[in-house]
Amino acid sequence: MEALAAMPRYEAYKDSGIKWLEKIPSHWKVERSQWLFSLRRERARKGDQQLTASQKHGMISQAEFMAIEGRRVTQVEFNPEILKHVEANDFIISMRSFQGGIEYCNVSGCVSSAYVPLIPRKYVYPNYFKYLFKSARYIEALQSTSNLVRDGQALRYENFRMVALPVVPFEEQAAIANFLDQKTAQIDDAIAIKEKQIELLKERKQIIIQKAVTQGLDPIRANLRS
């Protein structure tokens, strides 16, 4: 809660003029996306590890993805002509960005030519936009830019440029991102505890069923009384 306590209270809000943003703090601004992110146009470098975009795991190496998921992905023979270099803190528009938002990349490497790497400018706090680009309202705004999602085609930089973004003071971006890091970690811990409890209840359910059908009800009544 330290990040929340450190932030000043907003005195007033204003209409952003952007449908997906609605009202924003009065001192925030709204700008075209390219004011905050530029397009990376660099070919893959020798020694770059190949990365893959995953809505579940983010941007990770293809080797790590295959180890986690237990399945292979299509690997491209290294060729700077068809692979793009990316740096840590870049954001990646992938084939599935219409469904799951834009992926944050925390490692350097190279990606397929089907991906679109975005370079954050100096006034961007990447961790803030990591959350913003995964928000439901932003994804809806991306979906509204084209019919490509229905046509099965890729989302391009031109689509990204069509969605205006909030310009938030750098210190506030950091405070919001730090607050969300804390809260989402707490929620994830609570989910993990609940999932463990659910698994234990499922196990108990199976034990009760097994005993009832093989030993009758007396052993179950005895356990319930104890």
Name which residue leads in pLDDT, 173 or 147. Answer: 173
pLDDT score of 80: 63
| 194, pLDDT greater than 80 | yes
**What would the pLDDT profile of 61-95 be if each residue is shown by its tens digit?**
777 777 777 666 666 666 667 899 999 999 999 87
Would you say residue 222 lies in a domain? no
Confidence of residue 208 (pLDDT cuts 50, 70, 90): confident
* pLDDT mean over 145-161: 72
Would you say residue 6 lies in a domain? no
| 7, pLDDT greater than 80 | no
Domain span holding position 44: 13-168
pLDDT score of 99: 83
Would you say residue 2 lies in a domain? no
Would you say residue 74 lies in a domain? yes
CATH of residue 116's domain is 3.90.220.20
pLDDT score of 128: 97
Lowest average pLDDT, out of 29-33, 37-41, 77-81, 107-111, goes to: 77-81
Q: How many domains does the chain have?
A: 1
Could you give the 3-state DSSP secondary structure of residue 226? Answer: coil
Structure token digits, residue 11: 């005195």
pLDDT score of 91: 96
Confidence of residue 209 (pLDDT cuts 50, 70, 90): confident
Measure Cα distances from 126 to 13, 136, 148, 170 in Å.
24, 18, 27, 10
Would you say residue 4 lies in a domain? no
* pLDDT mean over 168-196: 95
Write down the residue that tokens 């528009």 correspond to: 93
Would you say residue 182 lies in a domain? no
| 11, pLDDT greater than 60 | yes
Could you give the 3-state DSSP secondary structure of residue 137? Answer: helix
Confidence of residue 164 (pLDDT cuts 50, 70, 90): very high
d(CA 64, CA 50): 10
Confidence of residue 60 (pLDDT cuts 50, 70, 90): confident
Residues in Cβ contact with 91 at an 8 Å cutoff, skipping those fewer than 6 apart: 37, 102, 103, 104, 105, 117, 118, 120, 126, 129, 130, 133
Measure Cα distances from 42 to 60, 81, 102, 112 in Å.
19, 10, 19, 12
Would you say residue 205 lies in a domain? no
* pLDDT mean over 8-25: 90
Percent of the chain with pLDDT over 90: 54
